[in-house]
Structure 1
Amino acid sequence: HTYMAAEALEKAGKAMDIPLKAETNGSGGAKNVLTAEEIAAADGIIVAADKNVETARFDGKRVLFVPVSEGIHHPEELIGKIVEKQVPIYHYSGAVETTDTAKNESIGRQLYKHLMNGVSHMLPFVIGGGILIALAFLLDDYSINPANFGMNTPVAAFFKTVGGVAFNFMLPILAGYIAMSIADRPGLAVGFVGGSLAAAGTSFATILDPNTAAIPAGFLGALLAGFVGGYFMLGLRKVCDKLPDSLEGIKPILLYPVIGVLFMGLFMCLVNPIMGAINNGLIAFLNSLGGTSKILLGAVLAGMMSIDMGGPFNKAAYVTGTGAIATAAAAGAAQGAIEYQMMAAVMVGGMVPPLAIALCTTFFKKKFTQDERKSGVVNYIMGLCFITEGAIPFAASDPLRVIPSCVVGSAVAGALSMFFGCSLMAPHGGIFVFPVVTNVLGYVISLVVGSLVGMLLLGVLKKNKEQ
């Protein structure tokens, strides 16, 4: 979405004959960064983002805060507001400055942005670690010692050890960056500690009696730690603002970390048994699913990946999948566990929309303009690489036909993936992680059938375009 919004804004600026420079701050870091001179000379700034950004440098400029989707769908309107001076002057207050400055943002959207900040920082750890762990199983010899599968050979042990270290950072990173999104830097340490305690399952009972079995709070516990820790630190900062100015220097190096970490330790020790019980209940429920229930779960998760193609529904399904494999990894679940099957359904559901559209532009050419057919070819690559967002331009231009077709195709693929018992320990990668999918033939069949169903539905629903 980051790069699609940047491209849309740049194209709109060029079409309107208005000089525009788009800085991107995606998963690869900040690129095309605005200089101080460019900011000073600008008529205004458009911040199109779904996570918090640094805004002190824009003090005294007209700044428009919008979701990233607005940058994709309404770039001309945003530029027009800046040019016509419909945007107020922004003044940096010195507090935690975020895109929440937009007055019309709902509480739900703010929570979503904090969650996405945690998820975006978590993904490199869970993707890198998950793929290395999956490779360990691929390279190991099950017959040597089934109970030690994944660690039987030196090569497999290396991949599993390194992957496990990376994967174990998942929950602390998630909680830490959620808390940081809410409370800025003072929230980072508190969130990290909370996420680590959630992963360890530390409680007052385990501290008083070392023989008591710890029950990890898992993904849900880390989410709770991130949000509670973040809002606690936000409140603590407001309380500390009333202290004398002479104490300003010791706040970030003494008061914030000591009080914050102490609170988080007490809180997590109190709630970990509860969250652990909920976590175990979910695992038991998932393991009890079979037959129709399991297939329906796969269809729902995969279908959600196509509803908004990178938006909240898509992210909810994806976070569910990554959370499931985190839970399975913490519990030492076997390679074909239901949690890994959920991730397989999520990924195949996200691959279908671009592929269905690409196939439709190839076999139903009259339904698309020449430009759409050209961009449709790119969606073959997008789909195979598990980049669902490649379908967005087509969905935006004809949502009533494209979205239902893609949702049905994805749901079919997810249902088939569950039916064939396909599982995936890596939360990303597209065709590049197919070698580590269990029952890869069934997975390929699921992807092909789902893509063809989506293509046929779209071909039937869409009307011919005048060329």
Structure 2
Amino acid sequence: MELVDILTRENIILNLKGTSQADVIDEMVDKLAENKLTDDPEQFKKEIYQRENEISTAVGYGVAIPHAKSKTVSKPTIIMGRTLQGIQYGDQHTNLLFMIAAPENASNEHLALLSKLSQYLMSETFRAKLIVATAVDEVINALQNEEKLQGSTSTSVDTSDSGKYIVGITACMTGIAHTYLAAESLKEAAKKRGMKVKIQTNGANGPENRLTSADIQNADAIIVAHDVRVDTSVFQGKKHVDVPVKKAINQADQMIDQALSYNIREGNATHTTADTEPVEEEKSGINFYKHIMSGVSYMIPFVVVGGIFIAISFMFGIYAADPTSDQYNVFAEFFSQVGGEAAFALMVPILAGFIGYSIADKQGLAPAMIGGMVASIGGSGFLGGIVAGFVAGFAARFIGRSFAKVPKAFQGLVSVLVVPLLSTLIVGAFMFFILNTPMSLLNVFLENWLTGLTGINAALLGALLAGMMASDMGGPINKTASAFGLAMFAANIFEPSAALMVGGMVPPLGIALATTIFKNRFTLQEVEAGKASYVLGASFITEGAIPFAAADPLRIIPANIIGAAVGGALCMVLGISLKAPHGGIFVIPIASNHPLMYIGCIVLGSIVTCLLIGFLKKPLSEEDRNKGKSMSSII
């Protein structure tokens, strides 16, 4: 199988009509649907935007490679789009776009073909041929010629006579595009200097061109370019450059210069343990947000399961889980024990543990989890767990580095005994003697304050939390509100969770309602997308609102915030609680104390958002509606 089998003539658009990122994504997804390569184009578009929200797929050189793996895709496919005037895609001016669509169960052969395209795009000559092509056949011929050229010259290790040898690892989130672009960029930069080069690519197929111990031993420079965690233990403690994938794509020469400056062959490097944190991260400061989100992401399943199971337990009666009560039911006790005594008990230790793991890898996991358990026992709760994770993680990392120069025969003992023992002693003493008492008092104060909120104060808090959730839909403001809700959830205060879910459900539901009632304000494509937003909003998937907000932020985002704030304020005033912070309509009947009133708050907020959108957006002409040109793009 060749690339032309998945980038077929029918999948090439030489003259994209769109003038914005949102427009061209719509146009390319429409082509995917037109060729019957996806059975749910709106879901695939959502997955494309999820990938864009993680990191822009504009890779430089006037190229963007939006991509996603999806169960809605029938077979691996590439849609090519070209715009000669260019568009602003992310923060880059872009002329060539390649939308890669891969099914969830794509074979290794297919994924390898998709990755080949990323390598070919590093060739300036190949890109130029695509830009000047006047017909689809010229694109196909350029692709076939590049396959022949690359096939005749590619080798896993490039040899030359400079005497320098560079090795590295590249890995992006999906392992389809950026992984191979970064590898190719580093290879090309090294070749121009006459260097030997070998880059391991951790792609969707798993590691390819894997580095050996001999490669590491003989290397003069090491570069790791990644957006996901990679195992750096193979570097045997040698100092290396650690950067995001896009930096290796766009600044390969600078990365090579930096890596060569470490002089690792001469032994002048600052040796570190195998599980140390990347060098580059130290220079840019402590990435608190990354570490906290790592812990939260692992904690959330415990929160969801625990909350739902406890809610099910209460359905048998408030005291049905108590064997001494007249309401006792063995199934209620089962759900209460699994949810409350097991899942909830693990929330804070898991949070702390994976914050520690994010900082110090495996050496930080055990002491951070133990510190989290001490925080939970001592009343520090969620906030104490965060502190425990950071203290344990940095203690483990510092101790590990301090013992880096001990003989190799004792390194195993250091990893399994010395580092966890000493770092656990540090975090345990810190939590027990210093933090737990004041933090538990703070938690009691917050609990009393929140439980005592009534009237206007409760309304203001509900409006603030829900409005924050709706403001940037997955961004830092949204995450800050979510973190507060999780802290209160861990303290068994469930009203903020209800307000937060209102803030997440109202934007897509309000937009969906607006596309139904005020159809003349939207293009035909947007009206169709609005139908999917009903399902997304009901499922608490706020991202259903992102395409609309991106296309018309000055109207949609304020409407989202105001509608969410109204619903959240009413929710808090009515004392509605929610014992499951995720799940949308599927958990409301069993996890809310007043499910009908709660649904009413969501509906009211959605109506407010809908009416505001109808008022703020101007009607489109029939021609603009059919062309897919929204009013926001011509005002």
Shared fold, TM over 0.5: yes
> Following superposition of structure 1 onto structure 2, how do residues 14-413 of structure 1 map, counting pairs within 5 Å?
14-15=80-81, 16=96, 19-20=117-118, 23-24=173-174, 33-37=204-208, 47-48=226-227, 53-54=229-230, 56=232, 65=244, 82=249, 88-89=255-256, 96=275, 101=280, 107=286, 110-138=287-315, 140-142=316-318, 152-164=328-340, 165-201=342-378, 216-270=379-433, 271-328=435-492, 339-413=493-567
TM-score by length of 2: 0.59
- Picking from 579, 589, 596, the partner of 1:425 is 579
CA contact (8 A) 2:319 2:328 kept: no
Instruction: Report the AA paired with residue 158 of structure 1.
Output: F
Instruction: Say whether the 8 Å CA contact 1:55–1:98 is kept in structure 2.
Output: no
Asked if 2 retains the 8 angstrom alpha-carbon contact of 1:356 and 1:452, the reply is: yes
Q: 1:304 and 1:163, CA in 2 relative to 1: closer, same or farther beyond 3 A?
A: same
Deviation at 1:321, TM superposition (A): 1.4
Change (3 A) 1:100 1:442: farther
CA deviation vs aligned residue, 1:206-264 (integer Å, no higher than 9, x gap): xxxxxxxxxx1111111110111111112212212243444322211111111111112
Aligned to 1:210: none
Which amino acid counterpart does residue 243 of structure 1 have in structure 2? V
CA distance in 2 between partners of 1:258 and 1:421 (Å):
46
Task: Please state how far the C-alpha of 1:65 moved relative to its aligned partner.
Answer: 1.8
Give distance in 2, aligned partners of 1:300 and 1:408: 10
More helix by share: 1
Cα deviation, residue 440, structure 1: 1.4
Judge conservation of contact 2:459–2:572 (CA < 8 Å) in 1.
yes
**Deviation per CA, 1:138-161, whole angstroms, max 9, x where unpaired?**
2x1348799978972112111111
Work out whether residues 150 and 156 of structure 1, in 8 Å CA contact, stay in contact via their aligned partners in 2.
Answer: no
CA distance in 2 between counterparts of 1:3 and 1:284 reads 44
Task: Verify the 8 A CA contact 1:53 1:98 in the aligned structure 2.
Answer: no
Instruction: Specify which structure has the higher proportion of strand.
Output: 2
Candidates 414, 427, 438, aligned match of 2:593: 438
Q: Compared with structure 1, are the counterparts of its residues 144 and 231 closer, same or farther at alpha carbon in structure 2 (3 Å cutoff)?
A: closer
- The code of the aligned residue for 1:448 comes to V
Secondary structure in structure 1 of the residue aligned to 2:244: strand
User: Residue 20 and residue 361 in structure 1: after superposition, are their counterparts in 2 closer, same or farther (change >3 A)?
Assistant: farther
Alpha-carbon distance in structure 1 between the residues aligned to 2:326 and 2:583: 20
Taking the aligned partners of 2:241 and 2:399, their CA distance within structure 1 comes to: 31
Instruction: In structure 1, give the amino acid aligned to 2:206.
Output: T
The farther-off stretch of 16-25 and 456-465 is 16-25
Distance 1:451 1:408 in 2: 10
Q: Post-superposition shift, 1:34?
A: 3.8
Structural RMSD (CA): 3.6
CA distance 1:232–1:291, change in 2 (3 Å): same
Read off the aligned partner of 1:129 and give its amino acid letter.
Answer: G
Cα distance in structure 1, aligned partners of 2:501 and 2:440: 27
Residues 135 and 221 of structure 1, relative CA distance in 2, 3 Å threshold? same
In structure 1, what is the Cα distance between the partners aligned to 2:51 and 2:506? 25
Count how many residue pairs are aligned between Structure 1 and Structure 2.
417
Aligned to 2:611: 456
1:4 to 49, 52, 67: 49
Query: 1:53, CA displacement in angstroms?
Result: 1.7
1:36 counterpart SS class: strand
Aligned AA (1:36): P
1:423 CA drift (Å): 0.8
1:416 equivalent in alignment to 2:570: yes
Instruction: Describe the superposition over 1:182-209 as per-residue Cα deviations: whole angstroms up to 9, x where unpaired.
Output: 11111100110001111111xxxxxxxx
Q: CA deviation at 1:402?
A: 1.4
The CA distance in 2 between the partners of 1:422 and 1:150, in whole Å, is: 27
Whether the aligned pair in 1 keeps the contact of 2:276 and 2:360 (CA below 8 Å) is: no
- Matched position secondary structure for 2:494: helix
Kindly indicate whether the alpha-carbon contact (under 8 Å) linking 1:317 and 1:346 is maintained by their aligned counterparts in 2.
Answer: yes
Change (3 A) 1:149 1:447: farther
Query: Within 2, Cα distance between the matches of 1:86 and 1:367?
Result: 49
2:472 and 2:232 map into 1 onto residues whose CA distance is: 32
- Judging changes above 3 Å, is the alpha-carbon distance between structure 1 residues 105 and 135 closer, same or farther for their aligned structure 2 residues? farther
Instruction: Look up the equivalent residue of 1:252 and give its one-letter code.
Output: S
Structure 1 counterpart SS, 2:586: helix
What is the alpha-carbon distance in structure 2 between the residues aligned to residue 63 and residue 268 of structure 1? 32
* Paired AA for residue 66 in structure 2: K
> Distance between the aligned counterparts of 1:400 and 1:58, measured in 2?
49
The verdict on how the C-alpha distance between 1:410 and 1:177 changes in structure 2, with shifts beyond 3 A counting, is same
Shift in CA distance, 127/144, structure 1 to aligned 2, threshold 3 Å: closer
**Residues 237, 83 of structure 1: alpha-carbon distance in 2 compared, 3 angstrom cutoff:** closer
Aligned 8 A contact 1:125 1:167 in 2: yes
Q: How far apart, CA to CA, are the structure 1 residues paired with 2:439 and 2:232?
A: 38
Using a 3 Å threshold, how does the CA distance of structure 1 residues 181 and 146 change in structure 2: closer, same or farther?
closer
CA-to-aligned-CA distance 1:111-131 (integer Å, 9 cap, x gap): 011000000000111111110
For the residues of structure 2 that align with 1:322 and 1:306, how far apart are their CA atoms?
17
C-alpha change, 1:351 and 1:364, in structure 2 (3 Å) is same
SS where residue 587 of structure 2 aligns? helix
Inter-partner Cα distance in structure 2 for 1:147 and 1:293? 39
C-alpha distance 97-394 of structure 1, shift in aligned 2 (>3 A): farther
Amino acid at match of 2:396: M
TM-aligned CA deviation for residue 132 of structure 1: 0.6
Structure 1 outlier segments of 4+, above 6 Å = 61-64, 90-94, 97-100, 143-151
User: Could you say if the C-alpha distance between residues 240 and 98 of structure 1 is closer, same or farther in structure 2, counting changes exceeding 3 Å?
Assistant: closer
CA 1:65–1:100 in structure 2 vs 1: closer, same or farther (change >3 Å)?
A: farther
Q: Is the 8 A contact 2:273 2:401 kept in 1?
A: no
**DSSP-derived class of the 2:473 partner:** coil
Structure with the bigger RCO (C-alpha within 8 Å, sep 6+) is 1
Aligned equivalents of 2:368 and 2:293: distance in 1?
15
* Cα displacement (A) at 1:105: 5.2
